[in-house]
Structure 1
Amino acid sequence: MSTETDDKHQFRPATRLVHAGYDPHEYHGFVNAPVVHASTVLFPDAATMRRRDHSYLYGLRGTPTTDALEGALNDLEGAAGTILVPSGLAAISVPLLAFLSHGDHCLVVDSVYGPTRLFCDTLLTRMGVETEYFDPAIGEGLRGLMRENTRVVFLEAPGSNTFEMIDIRLMAGIAREGGAVSMIDNTWATPLFLRPLDFGVDLSIHALTKYPGGHSDLMLGSVSANAATYKPLRDAQMQIGVNAAPDDAYLTLRGLKTMEVRLRAHERAAFDLARWLETRPEVARVLHPALPSFPGHDLWKAQFNGASGLFSFVLQGGGREQADAFLDALRIFGLGYSWGGYESLALQVDLSDRRFAKAPPEGPVIRLQIGLEDIEDLRKDLERGFSAIGALG
Structure 2
Amino acid sequence: MNSKTKLIHCGRGDQNTEVRSVNPTLMRASTILFKDHATWQKYKELRKTERVLSYGARGTATNFELEKLICTLEGGYRAQLFPTGLAALAMVLLNYASKDAHFLITDAIYGPVRTICELFLEKIGVKIDFLKADASDVEEKIKPNTKLILCESPGSILYEIIDLPKLCKVAHAHNIPVAIDNTYSSGYFLNPLEFGVDISVIAATKYLSGHSDVTMGIVVVNEKEWKNFDKLPEVLGFTTSPDDAYLVLRGMRTLDVRMRAHEKNADEIVEFLQTRKEIKTIFYPKLKSHPNHEIFMRDHKGANGMITIEFTEDFSKDDAIKFADKLEYFSIGASWGGYESLATVTTPPRTIADLSKRGPFVRFHIGLEDTKDLIADLTQAFDSIKK
How would you bin the TM-score normalised by the shorter chain? over 0.9
User: Which residue is equivalent to 2:368?
Assistant: 372
1:53 to 23, 46, 53: 46
Moved more, 261-270 or 359-368: 359-368
Residues 155-214 of structure 1: CA distance to partner in whole angstroms, max 9, x if unpaired? Answer: 100110011111111112222221221100000011111001001000000000000000
1:231 is paired with a residue whose SS is coil
User: Which residue is equivalent to 2:132?
Assistant: 135
1:126 is paired with a residue whose SS is helix
Please list, as runs of the form range in 1=range in 2, the aligned pairs for 1:176-215 lying within 5 A after superposition: 176-215=172-211
Residues 65-121 of structure 1: CA distance to partner in whole angstroms, max 9, x if unpaired? Answer: 011000000100000000000001011001110112111000000111101121122
Contact 1:43 1:49 (C-alpha < 8 Å) held by counterparts: yes
Contact 2:278 2:311 (C-alpha < 8 Å) held by counterparts: yes
Task: Find the aligned partners of 1:115 and 1:29 in 2 and give their Cα distance.
Answer: 43
Q: Amino acid of the residue matched to residue 240 of structure 1?
A: L
Q: Amino acid of the residue matched to residue 53 of structure 1?
A: L
Residues 267-313 of structure 1: CA distance to partner in whole angstroms, max 9, x if unpaired? Answer: 01101111221221011010001111212211111111100001201
2:254 to 252, 255, 258: 258
What is the TM-score with the length of structure 1 in the denominator? 0.93
1:150 to 146, 149, 155: 146
User: Which residue is equivalent to 1:14?
Assistant: 4
- Structure 1 residue runs of 4 or more that deviate by more than 6 Å after TM superposition: none
1:173 to 154, 169, 175: 169
Task: Find the aligned partners of 1:235 and 1:180 in 2 and give their Cα distance.
Answer: 21
2:91 to 91, 94, 114: 94
CA gap 1:260/1:99 in 2 versus in 1, 3 angstroms: same
Task: Find the aligned partners of 2:311 and 2:376 in 1 and give their Cα distance.
Answer: 17
Moved more, 38-47 or 364-373: 38-47
Root-mean-square deviation (Å): 1.4
1:306 to 302, 318, 322: 302
Task: Find the aligned partners of 1:230 and 1:362 in 2 and give their Cα distance.
Answer: 41
Task: Find the aligned partners of 1:389 and 1:225 in 2 and give their Cα distance.
Answer: 48
1:113 to 110, 129, 134: 110
1:381 is paired with a residue whose SS is helix
What is the TM-score with the length of structure 2 in the denominator? 0.95
Q: Amino acid of the residue matched to residue 121 of structure 1?
A: E
Task: Find the aligned partners of 1:147 and 1:14 in 2 and give their Cα distance.
Answer: 42
Task: Find the aligned partners of 1:24 and 1:134 in 2 and give their Cα distance.
Answer: 45
1:328 is paired with a residue whose SS is helix
Asked if residue 321 in structure 1 is aligned to residue 331 in structure 2, the reply is no
Asked if residue 79 in structure 1 is aligned to residue 69 in structure 2, the reply is no
Task: Find the aligned partners of 2:233 and 2:271 in 1 and give their Cα distance.
Answer: 43
Count of paired positions: 379
Contact 2:320 2:360 (C-alpha < 8 Å) held by counterparts: yes
Contact 1:330 1:382 (C-alpha < 8 Å) held by counterparts: yes
Moved more, 41-50 or 309-318: 41-50
Task: Find the aligned partners of 2:116 and 2:92 in 1 and give their Cα distance.
Answer: 12
Q: Amino acid of the residue matched to residue 173 of structure 1?
A: K
| Unaligned segments of structure 2, at least 5 residues | none
| Unaligned segments of structure 1, at least 5 residues | 1-10
Moved more, 52-61 or 290-299: 52-61
1:15 is paired with a residue whose SS is helix
Q: What is the identity percentage for the equivalent residue pairs of Structure 1 and Structure 2? A: 37
Give the CA deviation at 1:39: 0.7
Please list, as runs of the form range in 1=range in 2, the aligned pairs for 1:245-284 lying within 5 A after superposition: 245-284=241-280
